[in-house]
A and B are shown apart, each in its own frame.
Chain A
């Protein structure tokens, strides 16, 4: 099930909230059980078979956690158990997400005639395997206590707000909350606000601008004008941001409805003034996951220039690959690894002396070029599209189609730009507090009503993370 559906909003959510809050607060276990059961239904809704995968994953990680805790005094055995747990999790990812990709790569490189497996990607598998891995690794590092309560652990793994599209909630974030959270009225109210804002971002903004990207995407790159290419990639940049951050907002909001507080996943990424800064603001939970569980354990930047570059290469190769089993995602990851490496190596210091708007311009250009690599899967198309953005390649500056698109989407593009630049937020912050308290509920009600209208007449509502 996805959050941006009528089934979720009109049936699932009211039932889940009702069942949850009918249980008195002192019966923590029973509340967790309600969440667990609803979460299983939520996950089973689209692809019921894969519920088995999640149950398997839960059992494996629970068991490994217990065993690591038990054999902590025997470091080699504990280490073996950790490796086993990580191997199972990565094995699941490998089989269900990368089997076809690996088979194709091997048969391409070594000429092995491997028939790729055609398995449907279990929704959210990249998110929940990373979440459960954080548990066993942190248990091994003695950063969190072993979770002995199976119900609490299963609730964590399957917890529907964070299940399918981020943020990647680490076990350490919610470990205490599983047993001792306090649901309060202000928290629930704040959760609802966040949910509505996220819903509006996804349904009203991302889907609307996504249609512009769709038209550009459907045009062969050779038929695009320079303006058309720019409109297209801007539309994609807005679509993926509002879609993804909207989903994270909904996840965080839903978590709060049940007393959980998750870490933030986005922090106005398009206001970043370097690529490193962008990645501190974009999909924060993924970047910090790779930092803490891959980059730092590899030695980070403490082993000299060559070692640092090597570590960056590994981390960004994996970051790219995490986004999908396809070479363009790998290229996308390595591209950012290269830029971040250069910024570490001195470009960053040079940039920091530049006039601030120029730093923004550099960052946005770098990120937009990255989206080209991300959004197109053929390397020739990527090359042509990048040339087009640069105004090279002999295409016309603007054609009739792009002028029309500009007229049809100009208002929306301006609105999205303003939101990404943080202007409406600053305007709201400047309001008199009394006024803000009166206006905000009205504003949220409008967003909720409009989102309902958009969900009722939905010709375009893609789920972008089907490859993650």
Chain B
């Protein structure tokens, strides 16, 4: 092969490579959904002059090309494997841990931020001095199985953080430390490998730890049944980590043997349902939404059959998404649970608790969510 001929071949191959990839994008119908990534793909943007002039059209076109390019899954896989090969063990705060486990990094909040958050909780307690208030700080998977973190990976000590919070609450609010009890169960699937939440089983053990620490009747596992509702769940950690090839998680649901009928009132949306579960989320990307349908400002969950003669027992649950799969268990001891997500709940919480004749308050957050929280501190404005 003479020099010039070789060059010509190389030039033609190069141009053909680029042009064919481009042409394929233009003629092949778009895929709507990626099975591997379990998400909707960008569709070809509709052309409009205003979009072109603002530059939006160019940005959308680039995203569309990246999503629809021929062999996208292979391109993505090649990149991921090569990065792993040269030592990359983390992406956007998610570690690629041992045993196909993705673990979110925990970084302790600054002392000032923590002080403010705790001041908010203590202030609420001081407005409602007669109510028992507890804070359940859920560890994340990095706290329960630190041995699964990659070598040298940095994640702050969750046990120490929980102890620090307990000290600062000074006994006025009871801190429920479930870390030790969860570590005892670490060989069971109590956390998802691909999502940052605990599983319903993790929530069950945490609940039973809460029961024993707050002096309530112990849980009886015999009262509950387990059922798998999804075998293909790729959670948020997986999406953030950058699409590494991992086996999916399963979603297990633990329900009482004798079902409890409830009404669930979404106050903001004005909707009423009769279930804590929303099966349509099992068809979507974020299947954790199966529990409670995601986060609403205020849900009022009532048991249909209340114990006659007994005074109604009402719980105010101030929480993030970690609580969504624990409500089923909490219903054993309460007739009504008022579920508040402070990110969206705009009212005066103390006044709400008085009006609703709340009998007990539980704050439930995971350590990462608690550390990043910007709403609890605003409780100091409550009256």
Contact = CB atoms under 8 A, between A and B. Distances in A.
Contacts of A208: 83
Given A13-B18, A404-B154, A411-B86, A456 B75 contact: yes
A7 B55 CA distance: 13
A393 interface: no
B22 A11 contact: yes
Contacts of A18: 15, 19
Given A17-B15, A448-B17, A456-B72, A400 B87 contact: no
Nearest to B149: A404
B343 interface: no
A411 B91 contact: no
Interface stretch (B5-13, B168-176, B220-228, B350-358): B5-13
A46 interface: yes
A185 B4 CA distance: 7
Given A47-B55, A454-B79, A459 B242 contact: yes
Interface string A333-347: 000000000000000
Contact of B90 (A47, A186, A408, A415): A408
Interface in A386-415: 400-401, 403-404, 407-412, 415
A400 B69 CA distance: 40
26 contacts: A5-B62, A6-B62, A7-B61, A7-B62, A10-B19, A10-B25, A10-B69, A14-B22, A45-B58, A48-B55, A189-B10, A400-B154, A407-B87, A407-B89, A408-B89, A409-B87, A410-B87, A448-B17, A450-B82, A453-B75, A456-B75, A456-B76, A457-B75, A457-B76, A457-B80, A459-B242
A463 to B, nearest CB: 12
Nearest to A220: B110
Interface in A274-296: none
Q: Which size class do A's interface residues fall under?
A: 35 or more
Contacts of A437: 6
A121 to B, nearest CB: 14
Given A10-B19, A457-B79, 10 more contacts: A6-B62, A6-B66, A10-B65, A14-B19, A46-B55, A185-B4, A192-B10, A407-B87, A411-B87, A453-B78
Interface string A1-36: 100011101110110011000000000000000000
Shortest 3 CB-CB distances between A and B: which pairs?
A: A10-B22, A189-B7, A14-B19
Nearest to B3: A186
Given A13-B18, A14-B22, A411-B87, A6 B53 contact: no
A410 B86 CA distance: 9
Nearest to A21: B15
A464 to B, nearest CB: 18
Nearest to B86: A411
A458 interface: yes
A14 B23 CA distance: 10
B15 A14 contact: yes
A452 interface: yes
Interface string A264-278: 000000000000000
A188 B17 contact: no
Contacts of A411: 86-87
A49 interface: yes
A437 B154 CA distance: 46
Given A7-B65, A189-B7, A454-B79, A459 B92 contact: yes
A458 B152 contact: no
A452 B25 CA distance: 14
A132 B6 CA distance: 39
Q: Which of A14, A407, A449 has the most CB of B within 10 A?
A: A14
B371 to A, nearest CB: 16
Interface string B15-37: 10111011001000000000000
A410 B152 CA distance: 13
A441 interface: yes
A14 B69 contact: no
Contacts of A192: 10-11, 14
Interface in B76-134: 76, 78-80, 82-83, 86-92
